[in-house]
Every structure is written in C-alpha cells, then in structure tokens.
Amino acid sequence: MLRLIGKRLVGALPSVIGVLIVTFLLTRALPGDPAAFFAGPAATPQAIEEVRRALGLDKTLPEQFVVYLKDLARGDLGNSIATGQPVLTEIRTRLPASLELTLYGLLVSVLIAVPLGVLAATRPGSWIDHLCRVMTTAGVSLPAFFTGLLLVYVLYYRLGWAPAPLGRLDIFYSAPPHVTGLYTIDALLAGDGATFRAACAQLLLPVTALAIFTLAPLARMTRAAMLEVLGSDFIRTARASGLPKGKIVYAYAFRNAMLPVVTTLGMVFSFLLGANVLVEKVFSWPGIGTFAIEALISSDYAPIQGFVLTMALLYVALNLAIDILYIVIDPRVGFES
C-alpha cells in the first residue's frame, strides 16, 4: 500500500510542476495591469512604476518565476492585491466553504444516482428506467449555474420557500465555533441546532444545483456497469443456482460494478470543483471559487496561482484516494499495481 502511494505521488509531481508553469505564464498573459489596479485610477505613471517595482513585476518572466518558486518552497503563496492578506490565509479560510458545498452536492448526487442506476438496470424498459434517462439527459443539458439561477427564481423569488442566496448563513445567525470550518459539522459539535438548521437551509439550493449537474454521469455509469455485470456468466450461474435476487444484485453484481462507478465518482468530484466557481458566485458563497473570480477580474496574480495550485493538489489527493479505494473494493488491483 505504501509503495503504491509513493509511486502515485512521484508520478503526480510532473503534473503539478506543469500546472505551476502553465498557470504562471497564463496569469502574466491576462489583460490589465495589476500595478495600475493597485495604484488606483488617479495614480501617476511614476506611482504606477513604483508599485510595479514593489510587486516585482519589473523583472523578466524567468526572474519572476524563480522568485515565485523560492516563495513557494517556503510555503508563501504571496499576498492578494485586493485584500492585502496572504493568499495562503485566504485559501485556508475559504476552502472549508467550498469543500462543504462540494461534499454535500456529491453526497446527495450519490444517494440519488446510484440507487436509481441500479433500479434502472434491474428493470430495463420500466418507468424507473425511463425516469433515469430523463434525469440524466436533464443533468447533462443544464449547466450548474443555470440550474442555480432557475432554483433561485422559482424557490426563492416566486414561491419564497428557500432563504435568500446570500452566503453560508442568514444575517441573523453567527458562525459556530471553528473546528472543521464546515458550518453544519461545527454547529453539531457545538450543540447549536438553530445554526445547524440555518446552515442546511442555505445549502439547499446550491447543493441541489450541483447534485443535478453531477447526477447524470453517475446514474448512467451505474446503469451501464450493472447491465454489463448482470449479463455475465457468473450472474447467470448464481440465478440458476437459486440464490435470492437481492443477494445476486447487491452482493455480487453491484460489488463487481463498483470500480467504474468509483472512477466516475472521482471524475464527478473534479467536475464539482470546477462547477463550484460559478455556483459560488450565483449564491454569494464565500469560497475559493468566488475568491478566484474576483482575483481574475482584477488581474491579481497570486490568488489565481494559489487557487489553481490548490485545485491541482486536491486532484492529486483525490486520485490517490480513488486508487486506495480500488484496492479496498478489489484487492487484486493492488497486486497488479
């Protein structure tokens, strides 16, 4: 197991280095001048030039990249021009909000998509199968931000059933004591039921938008994998032996269909990290996606680089977790590795 983890981490290093180089070059290609933005609209050319020297933007690109790598080796991702705070502090503060949104969206999607895919595969041509096709088609066709806007218009503006999309908590509630950074978990740990319900209410619409977006690939892959396994020889042998249908479907077929589903789950999680950026903006969610968009608008290099690096490291960690989960599901994968 440790050997597999080491191989995966070493294999991920070239990808992370490539992400660093590409992100550094692309941020420098953004339109706009960070020095002019930071100096203000009334700044003179001399003042802008002084700010440029203070930010190190007067150096050549190779020199800037070497300085960036030295700072990165010390754990310094730079400071945000817009907020004046260290980027690492901003990411540490905002990342739990994005993870809370992503994890709950993935959880709701799995709880709906996997059972739906299994039922559709065991009852082909039934109304459940048709419902699965309709839901997957709708999920693929509707972008997450559009679904979010639609939910806000219908459930908040027209019907008034949902709270205002103004962040993680209503203005009448205070954040629970910080433990994990996830308000729902921290509220439960503090025994604050009112804050927990308020946090869940604010999560309702964005989580629904993300779940609809990710439900389609999970349900389709579960259905396809189950259909393939249910048509295999060992399942026909189990049926001929008179084993109960539930044991055949869930103990034998579903377990053998889990590997492609887990692979899709990893891809869906990475999709969610990207979809979060626009969903957070729609719902005024104070996550790293919102932070990245604001930095992109102001050509703030350090937060953009910090955001992309964080996403790359999360993706590496996710792939590692998927590899370990493969071994848990089927130990033969570990021997093949």
pLDDT tens-digit readout, 24-56: 887 777 666 677 767 777 777 888 788 778 777
Query: For residue 336, is pLDDT > 70?
Result: no
CB 132 within 8 A of CB 117: yes
For the stretch 248-292, pLDDT in tens is: 888 788 888 888 888 888 878 877 777 778 888 888 888 888 888
**Structural domain count, the chain:** 1
The fraction of the chain above a pLDDT of 90, given in percent, is 8
In a domain, 14, yes or no: no
Mean pLDDT across the stretch 70-93?
Answer: 83
Q: Would you list the DSSP string of 220-265?
A: HHHHHHHHHHHTSHHHHHHHHTT--HHIIIIIIIHHHHHHHHHHHH
For the stretch 174-228, pLDDT in tens is: 889 988 889 999 999 999 899 999 999 999 999 998 888 888 888 888 888 888 8
Quote the pTM value. 0.80
* Phi then psi dihedrals of residue 25, to 5 deg: -70, -40
pLDDT band at 104 (very low <50, low <70, confident <90, very high): very high
Helix/strand number for the chain, H first, E second: 15, 0
Quick one: pLDDT at residue 330?
Answer: 67
Structural domain that includes position 251:
95-288
Quick one: pLDDT at residue 236?
Answer: 85
CA–CA dist 332, 329 (Å, integer): 9
Determine what percent of the chain falls in helix, strand and coil, rounding each to the nearest 5.
75, 0, 25
Quick one: pLDDT at residue 259?
Answer: 81
In a domain, 249, yes or no: yes
Q: Would you list the DSSP string of 128-147?
A: HHHHHHHHHHHHHHS-HHHH
Residues 6 or more apart from 216 whose CB is under 8 A from it? 113, 135, 136, 137, 138, 139, 140
In a domain, 322, yes or no: no
Mean pLDDT across the stretch 107-126?
Answer: 88
In a domain, 58, yes or no: no
Residues 6 or more apart from 12 whose CB is under 8 A from it? 316, 319, 320
The Cβ of residue 208 has, within 10 Å, a number of other Cβ atoms equal to 18
Tokens for 178?
Answer: 């910080």
In a domain, 294, yes or no: no
Q: For the domain that residue 245 is a member of, what is the CATH number?
A: 1.10.3720.10
- Chain centroid to Cα 107, Å, comes to 12
Mean pLDDT across the stretch 218-240?
Answer: 86
Mean pLDDT across the stretch 289-311?
Answer: 82
In a domain, 230, yes or no: yes
In a domain, 57, yes or no: no
In a domain, 187, yes or no: yes
